[in-house]
Amino acid sequence: MLPTGNRIQVSILVAARNEEENIERCLQSLHELNFPKENIEIIIGDDDSDDRTYELVSQFIIDKPAFKLIKITSQVAGLKGKANVLAQLAHEAKGEYFFYCDADIVVQPIWISQMLGHFKPETGVVIGITRMKHIHMLADLLSMEWLFALTATRFFSLLKIPITGMGNNMAVTREAYFAIGGYEKIGFSIVEDYTLFMSIVKEGYGFTMAYKPEVISISEPMNTFPELLRQRKRWMHGVMQSYWLTRLSLFVSSLIVPILLVISIWFPINVLSSIIQYYVLVTGISLTAVFMLKQYDLWKAALLFWFYMVSIGLIMLVNYYLPSKTIWKGREY
């Protein structure tokens, strides 16, 4: 799908709040995209940051006409946070396609062209792949978590079963976005990417997944356990709103050991053998993702991932049901 003329074909929309540590890496990767500059625009919405995000973006884009920075200080249609920013950026965008990436993401130079290649006439949304920067074992386990979940998402997408979208690596058509009324019609959600994806699918548009190494974006990982808990509190809202199969998978994977122990009371099953079989299944899927997506540095994490998965799943469930506020980017939801 090659660009023609001097019109804007792709609008990249980036919501940023308090991202002074990450934003320049993101902007540099967007600047290095291998796509005609006259056919692309990059719009950054600063979500009323109280650090140096706005200043750093302003300095970076001063001599780069493809970039545009907007200070977001008001709310539209009762929206908050990232959804509010993206709703306003959509009305500034001129492109036929809206591409989304987070402010802590680094994209590959061929990201745009590779994602565009997955759009067909009926397609409304294309989902990409994201992993974490390779800096420590926790980051690798988080990467493996992403790749495992996205591999499952890929499988179900082939069966035309919608699982989820990803706000840090996703593209939608302008037509599909405004056909559903945009974020103003969707309403506020702390998991705005999932609600956008599902709204487009429910409107009758097709969806697909760009399951290939060429579209993999690199995210900054959570570096502490409290950070991870805050992030997962938010994610769990998305899981609990998602397709029933996703919810069931979370509960089964998180509670597999006690489930097997309970079952063994009434049925003659070998609990240890069942756990080993489950480990082999999960590890097999993990290694398949590692090799299919050519992320060979994650092979050790793939072997350890089962232990992480059953632990973090249970922690996520407990954390979700605890009576506490969801805090994200310094705001309570």
pLDDT digits (tens, 9 = 90+) for 122-180: 999 999 999 999 999 989 999 999 999 899 889 989 999 888 888 899 999 999 999 99
Instruction: Clarify whether residues 219 and 245 are in a common domain.
Output: no
pLDDT for residue 2 is more than 90: no
Range of the domain at 279: 238-332
Tell me if 192 sits within 8 A of 183, measured CB to CB. Answer: yes
φ/ψ (deg, to 5) at 14: -125, 120
List helix spans (H) across 100-180.
Answer: 111-116, 137-158, 174-179
What is the arithmetic mean of pLDDT over 29-50? 95
Question: Which of the four pLDDT bands, split at 50, 70 and 90, describes residue 197?
Answer: very high
Task: Tell me, yes or no, if the pTM score tops 0.75.
Answer: yes
State the burial class of residue 76 (Cβ atoms within 10 Å of its Cβ: 0-12, 13-18, 19+): middle
% of the chain beyond a pLDDT of 70: 88
Question: For 177-188, what is each residue's pLDDT tens digit?
Answer: 999 999 999 887
Query: How far is it, in rounded angstroms, from Cα 223 to Cα 243?
Result: 30
Task: Check residue 315 and give its pLDDT.
Answer: 77
Does residue 224 carry a pLDDT above 70? yes
Residue partners of 291: CB distance under 8 A and separation at least 6: none
Residue 173 shares a structural domain with residue 320: no
Query: Which of 13, 60, 6, 44 shows the shortest CA–CA distance to 171?
Result: 13
Q: Report if residue 5 sits inside a domain.
A: no
- Residue 107 has which token pair? 């994209």
Do 279 and 173 share a structural domain? no
Q: Please tell me whether residues 27 and 113 are part of one structural domain.
A: yes
Looking at the fold, whether 260 and 305 belong to one and the same domain comes out as yes
**292 domain residue, yes or no:** yes
Reduce the DSSP state of residue 15 to 3 states and report it.
strand
> Is 297 in the same domain as 217?
no
45 and 124 part of one domain:
yes
The verdict on 244 and 301 lying in the same domain is yes
Q: How many domains does the chain have?
A: 2
Mean pLDDT score of the chain: 88
Q: Are 319 and 326 in contact (CB under 8 A)?
A: no
83 and 177 in a single domain? The answer is yes
